[in-house]
Structure 1
Amino acid sequence: MKNELLNIKTEQQFTKNALNVFKHQFKNNKVYRSFCDLLYVHPSDITKIEDIPFLPIQFFKSRKVLSSLEEIDEVFTSSGTTGSVTSKHYVTDVSLYEESYLKGFHHFYGDIKEYVVLALLPNYLERKGSSLVYMVNDLIQKSENIHSGFYLNNLDDLAQKLVKLDNEGQKILLIGVSFALLDLVEKHNFNLKNTIVMETGGMKGRRKELIRNELHMLLQNGFNVNEIHSEYGMTELLSQGYSKGNGIFETPPWMKILTRDTEDALTVLEKGKTGGINVIDLANYNSCSFIATQDLGKVHENNTFEIIGRFDNSDIRGCNLMVL
């Protein structure tokens, strides 16, 4: 069944697979089963994806969320502030993650071998448990280009390389955390023609938080590009959404975004209304594919979505089942 999950072509296939994954995780995931039991939900009650319970993402901080008895391949951890409890995503089949992000990148951007990948991120050894760094490290390897690499602590070399390669007509993916991209444009001038600039969020106390429009305007002006791309992913997911501009994200065919009522976490909203972001990620076959995040956003009629902000802890309602 796992082989089918990332080969979905139609809405009907997605629904069928999602309902099957729900049954599998209800049966094999103790944490998720306990959560469903508290809600008095059983697979026999579920006929459409909107009825599936979404596990609050905070469970990844306090429980081992697993639907498999296989050995753990990787443990991805969130980058919490000092002293805070981090999320842990136990991955029993890391090849599923690799297939998901490679197919996802290809779906939106084409063959990774056409790109030089320049990363403004901590390198693999500096941030071992990061799923984002794992992905970018692999994209760097898969690009098979000698110029691809991590440049977070080497902005001058990066700027020189970026200008030279871009002028030569080389397709470039410049991917990085927001504060590092801002550092780069404050130190150097650019006029890029062949580069995708992709921010992955993250000021992490390094700079004042900016709203997306402000950040993107600064980066657009700094790199002299029309659009800033974004990646929507998290420790608890094995798939990513991508935005090619204006903060409007799309998902690959095996991932779907729904929104829930902020007052009633079990109610799924119709499209166009702002609510809590629920994610279905079928690549999470061995953990939990149905996650209620702490992001606020809205889904548009064409299934694109945007992120508007985050719940603060006082805003998170309907998660009083955390006593599990």
Structure 2
Amino acid sequence: MTNTDIFTINNAQSFRDQALATFKLQAANCQVYREYIHHLKIDVNQVSAIEQIPFLPIGFFKTHQIVSNQHPAEVIFSSSGTTGMSHSSHYVTDVALYEQSYLLAFNHFYGKVSDYCFLALLPSYQQRSGSSLIYMVNDLIEKSGHPQSGYFLDNHHDLLQTLTDLKTRNQPTVLIGVTYALLDFVEKFDLNFPELIVMETGGMKGRRKEMVREELHQQLTEGFGVPAIHSEYGMTELLSQAYSLGEGIFQCPDWMKVLIRDTNDPLTLIPEGKTGGINVIDLANINSCSFIATQDLGKINADQSFEVLGRFDNADIRGCNLLVQ
């Protein structure tokens, strides 16, 4: 199996085979994951189904270097958080995998990057280093090749003028923004740009009170004049993203899968329609750990889409969290 084999996955059997192969590889080569499996007294050779794979608690990225090879890190992504909190670090030894993952995922859900103008309203992310989101958006802006693609901090008048111009030109446009910044904008201006893709990345980051998703999305749809608000579900510890094209219903690319665990028994998975902890299989994480138990709560639907319903009570506030529903 090569690193790029994951991007050829096109059915459940292929995903299963590559997930199990990745599990055995990481159980042998990722020291932290190997020790975690050992403490659980799990026999790697007896794991024959995805449902039997143990998921590494995401908190280990705050305290350990999670790597599955000895190559030097090409980039180290770090999580956001409030002052005094510990931060996660993701040591990425092959950043080309991240680039391929987000480019192929965007192409799958939205089409060619070069067809779009990308506008970014991500002030809190721009003001720190190590953001995987900023890395992705930088690349999308560059690869779009559109002269008006770029970042906007607090210059909302410039953003309004740019959006108005793009609407007049019938230019397909993506506005990706942190939640509080999008709300700040629509409190000042009204727009009617129904073709615009507004993609919120979640997180109030202590700037505003938390809102239920329905209330948030209603304000944003009315403010931008769009039929739905899109969302991106990703985090520092992953190299893939799931996308919602509206209503908070997320779909994964073919090399990513979400499972739901029992909140009281983290080694037990629960069926569709039940709320529990979100486990993520991200096969793009082949050089770190592909099996992550997050601190998010959610549920899986019958079509394998999923919803994010909040966070565990004792979980840290994170820049990438989504809003309690």
- 1:36 deviates by 0.2
On the 8 A contact 1:177/1:203 being kept in 2, the answer is yes
Match runs of 1:1-324 below 5 Å: 1-122=2-123, 126-313=127-314
- 1:154 deviates by 1.4
The CA distance in 2 between the partners of 1:312 and 1:132, in whole Å, is: 25
Query: Which amino acid is 1:187 matched to?
Result: K
Runs (4 or more) in structure 1 with deviation over 6 Å come to: none
The CA distance in 1 between the partners of 2:199 and 2:162, in whole Å, is: 17
Q: TM-score, normalised by structure 2?
A: 0.95
Query: Which amino acid is 1:276 matched to?
Result: G
- 1:312 deviates by 1.5
The CA distance in 1 between the partners of 2:127 and 2:315, in whole Å, is: 34
The CA distance in 2 between the partners of 1:314 and 1:85, in whole Å, is: 12
Taking only aligned residues, the RMSD between alpha carbons, in angstroms, comes to: 1.3
- 1:4 deviates by 0.4
On the 8 A contact 1:122/1:133 being kept in 2, the answer is no
- 1:193 deviates by 2.7
On the 8 A contact 2:81/2:205 being kept in 1, the answer is no
Q: How many residues matched? A: 315
On the 8 A contact 1:123/1:150 being kept in 2, the answer is no
CA distances 1:217-266 after superposition (whole Å, capped 9, x unpaired): 10011111110000000000000000000000000000000000011000
Query: Which amino acid is 2:26 matched to?
Result: Q
The CA distance in 2 between the partners of 1:262 and 1:309, in whole Å, is: 13
On the 8 A contact 2:123/2:181 being kept in 1, the answer is no
CA distances 1:79-116 after superposition (whole Å, capped 9, x unpaired): 11101100001100000000000001001000010100
The CA distance in 2 between the partners of 1:51 and 1:313, in whole Å, is: 26
- 1:176 deviates by 0.3
- Is 212-221 or 120-129 further displaced after alignment? 120-129
- 1:301 deviates by 1.0
The CA distance in 2 between the partners of 1:314 and 1:108, in whole Å, is: 30
The CA distance in 2 between the partners of 1:93 and 1:197, in whole Å, is: 30
Gaps of 5+ in 1: 316-324
Gaps of 5+ in 2: 317-325
Change (3 A) 1:182 1:125: closer
Change (3 A) 1:70 1:151: same
Query: Which amino acid is 1:95 matched to?
Result: A
CA distances 1:38-71 after superposition (whole Å, capped 9, x unpaired): 1111221111001000000000000001101011
Query: Which amino acid is 1:271 matched to?
Result: E
Report the secondary structure of 1:6's partner residue.
helix
- 1:124 deviates by 7.8
Q: How many percent identity over aligned positions?
A: 57
Q: Which residue of 2 aligns with 1:319?
A: none
Q: TM-score, normalised by structure 1?
A: 0.95
